[in-house]
Amino acid sequence: MFDLDGTRAASKSDISPATAHMLCALLSAIDVCIISGGRFEQFDAQLVRHLSKLCHLERLHLMPTCGTRYLRWDGGAWTEIYFEKLSSGEKNSACEVLRNGAEKLGLWTNDTWGPALEDRGSQVTYSALGQGAPDDVKSAWDPDSSKMESLRKFAAERLPDFEVKSGGSTSIDVTRRGIDKSYGARRLMLALRLTEREILFFGDRLDPGGNDYPIKAMGIDCIEVRGWEDTISNVTNALGDLASSGSSSQSEFGRAPPDNAPSRP
């Protein structure tokens, strides 16, 4: 299992050719799950469209919005297994608390790269600088995560029926209580008949307030990483040849499609 932003790719950025190569190599032999805070559309743009047509997509499990949604490839399209949507009232409450907290803590600004609050259906996400902020700007804005942690605590105290976790370097993810990445992991275990000991998770927010922490709290083995290069190194160390070889020609793994190639559904 992998997080996406900060683990497989820089925030809101496309995966690298080396990352695509590694994913296809792994998929030639084992199941791989990507579970992260972004929408499915983000998964598609950042990751799926950059995988070779030779990748075994039937082994790829996509869990957007922190595992509150689950999709699998059926040979022609991505099929939804579940989608734990929030009600309008739940989303309004989360947005109100997040904005109120950001304003009180001096974190709210109208000078952002896109909307600061986003309705992702099964998750509400607050991004202090907007969803499209450059990665270097995000990294410099809250280097010790103290700003986001203060807002996370503020919101968690006022939203007792929700999970409130730090997502990326400038974001907070809010989902319904009990519906977080551990929920996604349990649904994956049920689908594949796995135990906690048969899963290895790579993520960048394994701290108690981070949205990767629920997986660690389950007892699943976790490896903390910092960026896609570090992920490749750690996967290679943990899984050896699986990370670099597969049943298909390596030269095809991770080959980005030409600009005029049709994207996958």
Tens of pLDDT along 187-246? 999 999 999 999 999 999 999 988 999 999 999 999 999 888 999 999 999 998 887 764
pLDDT in tens, 46-89: 999 999 888 999 999 999 999 999 999 999 999 999 999 999 99
Sequence-distant (≥ 6) Cβ neighbours of residue 193 within 8 angstroms: none
- Residue given tokens 């309705």 in the structure block: 119
On whether the CB atoms of residues 124 and 118 are closer than 8 A, the answer is yes
- Backbone φ, ψ for residue 180 (5° rounding): -140, -160
pLDDT value of residue 53: 86
- As a whole number of angstroms, the distance between CA 253 and CA 194 comes to 27
Q: Can you read off the two tokens belonging to residue 16?
A: 């690298």
Strands (E) located in 25-85: 32-35, 60-63, 69-73, 78-83
What whole-number distance in Å separates Cα of residue 45 and Cα of residue 28?
Answer: 22
Q: Is the pLDDT of residue 261 over 70?
A: no
Q: What is the pLDDT of residues 112-137, one digit of tens each?
A: 999 999 999 999 999 999 988 988 89
Chain centre distance of CA 79: 18
